[in-house]
Structure 1
Amino acid sequence: MSAVFIQDGAARLGGEWVLPPSAAGVVLFAHGSGSSRLSPRNTYVASVLQDRGVGTLLFDLLTQEEDRDYATRFDIELLTRRLLAATLWLKGESKMQSLQVGYFGASTGAAAALQAAAKLENKIAAVVSRGGRPDLAGEQALRQVTAPTLLLVGGVDYGVIELNQQAYSLLNCEKQLTLIPGATHLFEEPGTLEQVARHAADWFVQHFSIPK
């Protein structure tokens, strides 16, 4: 694991980069409102991806000061800009020259992941949303996404299910909407986060062309 720092203007964002041997791609994690690169749910999913030969980059989308402002947590344009800055930094690393890039977004981070994917088009190999708010990406961005997109939603996360269904209908790319039975918004029920991690790993392995 390598500790890294990503600069966006005056903001210096801490991150953790893991690149397994023979990795075919790296997934950038865009966490949700009030969370950070230390999110236990995202770090668990990242560990499962690493075990499957997928690199991961978890980093803070906001500084500590910015995160204290509730409105900033929902500033999708800012979150998207930070994700694009991290993607640009990652692409500039010598180890990344032949590797593909994917996004894993949770909650508001899913909207940022989809907006960034829409801007970068075929430069993003795949996107996964966990309990996300893809609707916040906006209709225009959703229609422009070309990266294969998997939306994972808790089977009893009522309200969020409908928002994901609306966003799903606007996506024109390869897509899949999967409900995790018995799961609420944070996937705290036994076995549900494990299902999320497995679905996400399968999606990235498939679209990074990693042998199963």
Structure 2
Amino acid sequence: MTASVVVGPAGVELAGDLVVPEGASGVVVFAHGSGSSRHSRRNRAVAEVLQDNGFATLLLDLLTEREERADRRTGELRFDIPVLAERLAAAVEQVGERDAVRGLPVGLFGASTGAAAALVAAARLDAVRAVVSRGGRPDLAGGALAEVRAPTLLIVGGLDLPVLDLNQAAAAQLGARVEIVPGATHLFEEPGALDEVSRLASNWFGAHLVA
């Protein structure tokens, strides 16, 4: 099943794409990174692998169309982690009310600044059972890191050195696992890098979301 959905906190309408394979064993909600939307090529590639492995996926815009236009000029909204986390948390709660995924365990997949929003949302919601970050900025989650209870995987490119350092420091607070993709930069554009991200994410959700 594939459906367009609208979710979000009161007064905010966020567009999303929900895909539910037959017999789905969990649902993974994506939080996109700096300047990205639900049309992100990289996150859609990961989502397709998750769908092939029996997970429903929700890719959604954390900013409205008007906000995205403004953010392209200012770059401010993409770093407003409290707002992004609030919207992501609302999306998790609302998608869980849909018949197609009702009762399924929930995981979060965050990229870049979206990873910080995912971690803040995970700290707030007991419903979140597992988190995966791709090239994320978990440091931007601040004090929420200590409150995250869901098993967390931080995937970082081996050549993305500043972000790697930030992830290793955050992992110590989270008790998270760090997986380094050798030869990959921040966007994982190198041959095979995104395939490795997809494999790691699928295995993590298979082990911690479904179990």
Q: Same fold (TM over 0.5)?
A: yes
TM-score by length of 1: 0.94
User: After the TM superposition, which residues 182-201 of structure 1 pair with which residues of structure 2 at under 5 Å, given as runs?
Assistant: 182-201=183-202
Take 1:203 and 1:23, find their aligned partners in 2: how far apart are those partners? Answer: 16
Q: Of 74, 83, 89, which residue of structure 2 is paired with 1:78?
A: 83
Length, aligned pairs only:
206
Deviation at 1:55, TM superposition (A): 0.7
- Please report the RMSD computed on the Cα atoms of aligned residues, expressed in angstroms: 1.1
Correspondence 1:87 to 2:72: no
SS of the residue corresponding to residue 105 of structure 1 reads strand
CA-to-partner distance for each residue in 1:64-107, whole Å, 9 max, x for gaps? Answer: 22122211110000100110110111121123332100000000
Paired amino acid for 1:11: V
Paired amino acid for 2:81: I
TM-score by length of 2: 0.94
Take 2:98 and 2:66, find their aligned partners in 1: how far apart are those partners? Answer: 28
Tell me if the contact between 2:20 and 2:101 (Cα under 8 Å) persists in the aligned partners: no
The percentage of counterpart residues that share the same residue type is 55
Paired amino acid for 2:159: V
SS of the residue corresponding to residue 143 of structure 1 reads helix
Partner residue, 2:129: 125
Take 2:209 and 2:113, find their aligned partners in 1: how far apart are those partners? Answer: 25
User: After the TM superposition, which residues 77-156 of structure 1 pair with which residues of structure 2 at under 5 Å, given as runs?
Assistant: 77-121=82-126, 123-138=127-142, 140-156=143-159
CA-to-partner distance for each residue in 1:46-79, whole Å, 9 max, x for gaps? Answer: 0000000011000000012212221111000010
Paired amino acid for 1:39: S
Paired amino acid for 1:118: A
CA-to-partner distance for each residue in 1:148-190, whole Å, 9 max, x for gaps? Answer: 0000000000100000011111114xx3101000000000000
Partner residue, 1:27: 28
Correspondence 1:171 to 2:170: no
Take 1:9 and 1:99, find their aligned partners in 2: how far apart are those partners? Answer: 24
Partner residue, 1:2: 3
Deviation at 1:4, TM superposition (A): 0.8
SS of the residue corresponding to residue 23 of structure 1 reads coil
Deviation at 1:207, TM superposition (A): 1.5
Deviation at 1:8, TM superposition (A): 2.5
SS of the residue corresponding to residue 13 of structure 2 reads strand
Paired amino acid for 1:189: E
